[in-house]
Structure 1
């Protein structure tokens, strides 16, 4: 056996999470005696854990990357289409989506004329 986990093996997933994941904004001492919450699905503004309990996601949307909600088929389709066409090229050359987005962004930012793409806010400083 290679130790691979099946995503349906929730008890194995919970053990792997407990042993190997350092959760943001969490006290980890309780995980010695209780299971960490494992989120398995999201739709709109809600997420569900491995027990089927539904939660209103009041964290990921504003702080991290889910500001448009979960399960947005139109966004997933657009991302897939672009990934198949051209998922990335170095900033040493332009790209169609990069140029079009820059034009739209600049239209909303009076007094600015160029966009410099970065991977993160840290690089922007």
Structure 2
């Protein structure tokens, strides 16, 4: 990424973002671009091992697990949202069957 683009992203970040584990007003050391498995890449293309595990959210799956991406895409193709006021029984039954072994009643 061009230095001017990097500088512009840092400027916007400092003006509009608060990072709970960072130093207030301090310039970010990394601007992450993408992740795959246990690795992260910054906007300059440097590769890092994510030793923070993304907190509790990624510790078991890693970044961008294809199985999860496929499952989310499959569901989004069917229905992205439904109101609790009008539940989707078929979807609920499908998930209940996946989560419970044996009796799903």
The alignment's TM-score, normalised by the length of structure 1, stands at 0.61
The alignment's TM-score, normalised by the length of structure 2, stands at 0.69
Offset of residue 96 of structure 1: 3.3
Asked if the contact 2:32–2:42 (Cα under 8 Å) also holds between the matched residues in 1, the reply is yes
Asked if the contact 1:43–1:70 (Cα under 8 Å) also holds between the matched residues in 2, the reply is yes
Alignment partner of 2:12 out of 16, 22, 33: 16
Asked if the contact 2:40–2:50 (Cα under 8 Å) also holds between the matched residues in 1, the reply is yes
CA RMSD of aligned residues (A): 2.8
Distance 2:20 2:56 in 1: 12
Higher RCO (Cα < 8 Å, 6 or more apart): 2
Distance 1:61 1:36 in 2: 17
How many corresponding residue pairs? Answer: 99
Offset of residue 77 of structure 1: 2.6
Q: Which runs of 5+ in 1 are unaligned?
A: 1-8, 115-125
